[in-house]
Chains A and B, each alone.
Chain A
């Protein structure tokens, strides 16, 4: 792990998109580092670069310039297989739209990453995770039979299926009501504490965002403010 205890480390991280002839600079060279076990909120208005940052960390996209280290390896230097390995074993991703597989039950959705990892003996772990997120009685329901909050809990359980080091959440509460949103954040805090999972969650909900250990404010692709929240 090394790297002075930083699990995520971005140096002059720049991301440029090409949309037809237009060049869109989503991240203008940011420097940030996240320690193991930290719960970090990434906040900022739409278009600030929150999703871009998470996608880069989540190994879903490649950065244009700079350096991005996750668990000590530079993501751009990973080959297809190593990237996949990173996504499968070290990262968990939660999306705003939940993105559950419609044909599979809650339990099967959570089992999916375990199956991809060929880790059949741990299929039971999926059940445990669902119990953990409070869906003991909804395990065999299909996504369409679940509420938004329940679906997101399933998504969180799925993200945790292969015991990742980092949980990435992109607007996880964007489609949820206040009560359910708070429930998800409570779950994050609990997970952080008990499993010492590093959590990076993007949100523009100030009330939720400030429940993290640290808040990184993004604006137009640059870090505006990086504040550590001291809780009493």
Chain B
């Protein structure tokens, strides 16, 4: 082959622009291929790193869509469902559980709506035992300390650990003492105003009952899981709040996964049932009126489960009891007897932050950190509408969700070592603090579990599902999560690979076209070479070599583009994928020598294939015709 090299090179050199364009075309195709294969390899590695970096093998969460769960487990987005924190104790009894740690993940929407602050409420001791890779960083750094002489905050150079884990502190529930002796323990989440039916009287004239309603100030308190016995409950109704704003009262039932049915009685006492599709519904709640006069809002789990008395009600999280002030005991000064531990929030909540979170937020140990976030808040508004039946204007009350801007303040006590995982961008606080601050009283998003023997996972899963008292839980092994995500990515990959395949076909046709054109242009020259003694094979090899040179150079250009542009490709894929869901934290485009060498040889194969036809055409030319064509 070497004897043609000089000639082939000179031929290509003569048509500089065309050769460059063709090389560029092949280069782009190869760059696409290299990037895609790099992504293919890198994504798997990054995902595996994420999964093995979890430290636990099994995650117990509230039941939901497995894809959603997979996303929640690894990235912390999507709509969250909660477990109650008594589940931890229940699961701990299982003989297969070696270690476990409860976790509450709270994604806070940034003020500008662009991304999240991911907070993890953790139990420091069990969490660090299960995930030893999460540890305080060390090295030369600056800390904020208070100068004892001036009382001012100053920077201090420190060489050593970057702070420490937060101190465990006791967080007490809020308490409301009722006149009837009941003490309601929970988390006070606000005050409200609500109407209480004080009595029903028969109107002798109309023969109808009229209700006496009275508005009361109330305190809203978030409660732990609790069973309300039949003896405590006065009545139960439901309320379906539509996204459009209307609230429909009645008995709320789920018809199926996508529809809710509300059965209500109209003024004449006739039963009326309406079905509402899930996508129109904002929330479905039950209202349980207690005999002591308070009202609990939540979702009834089951009224007739094993172990309960018929008629007892267990409410799922989140549930809120609304207690009117007239039910609350007063002290001698006439103050309501409410113990609100909210004061604890004012003392600085300690936070340990991930490496990246520290870098991007310019955070130092000892510093105060204020995060501005956007939250959705419910608000009741009154609206005048025209009643379609009577044609008269009437006022309805509706509950709407609107964004409110909130700020949370913490004290940074530690910065974590860089781990190349999503932990780098996370914020860690004590579980009870997280539950209180973010109003997720006694709630968890997941429980990380390490089993004594991972092979016994199916048995463990079965046992968890068979224990009804655990409610609607889901056991996800991280191996499954990985599989699920890889499945999702696989589908996308097939599509992308087809695009790459098309790019290669286009490059192949492009190269073939260029060489064929140059063969036709050089008909005479080829004829002369044959006339002075070149064989068919000589001509074939010469043209073939030209094609292979173009493709080999294209291969080099393409790999160089891909490798040096890799960080941009990574950014691009990350941007696209983060919109779709979960992206692993590590490097997702990873070029191995095999990929680079493989693609380079692939380009040569491309040259070998696309050169055959033009080379054959050139070799077949008869010298006499070739010479004549020049005349």
Contacts and interface: CB of A to CB of B under 8 A. Distances in A.
Interface residues of A, number: 30
A116 B14 contact: no
Contact of A99 (B10, B14, B524, B624): B524
Contacts of B624: 55, 60-61
Residue among B10, B13, B533, B627 with the highest chain A CB neighbour number at 10 A: B533
A112 B531 contact: no
Contact of B535 (A55, A58, A84, A108): A84
A103 B532 contact: no
A81 interface: yes
Contacts, number: 68
Interface in B509-542: 524-525, 528-536, 538
A58 B623 CA distance: 11
Nearest to B14: A103
Contacts of A115: 3
Which secondary structure dominates where chain B touches chain A? helix
Contacts of B10: 103-104
A87 B13 contact: no
B531 A60 contact: yes
Nearest to A55: B624
A104 B7 CA distance: 8
Contacts of B536: 80, 84
A31 B529 CA distance: 30
Interface string B619-631: 0000110010010
Interface in A63-117: 80-81, 84, 87-89, 92-93, 95, 97, 99, 101-104, 108, 112-113, 115-117
A92 B528 CA distance: 12
A218 interface: no
B532 A159 contact: yes
A171 to B, nearest CB: 12
B6 interface: yes
B623 A60 contact: yes
A93 B14 contact: no
B11 interface: yes
Contacts of A87: 530-533, 623
A104 B528 CA distance: 14
Interface of A: 55, 58, 60-61, 80-81, 84, 87-89, 92-93, 95, 97, 99, 101-104, 108, 112-113, 115-118, 158-159, 161-162
30 contacts: A58-B531, A60-B531, A60-B623, A60-B627, A80-B536, A87-B530, A87-B531, A87-B532, A87-B623, A88-B534, A89-B533, A93-B532, A95-B528, A95-B627, A99-B525, A99-B528, A99-B630, A101-B525, A102-B14, A102-B525, A103-B7, A103-B10, A103-B11, A103-B14, A104-B7, A104-B10, A116-B529, A116-B534, A116-B538, A117-B533
Interface of B: 3, 6-7, 10-11, 13-14, 524-525, 528-536, 538, 623-624, 627, 630
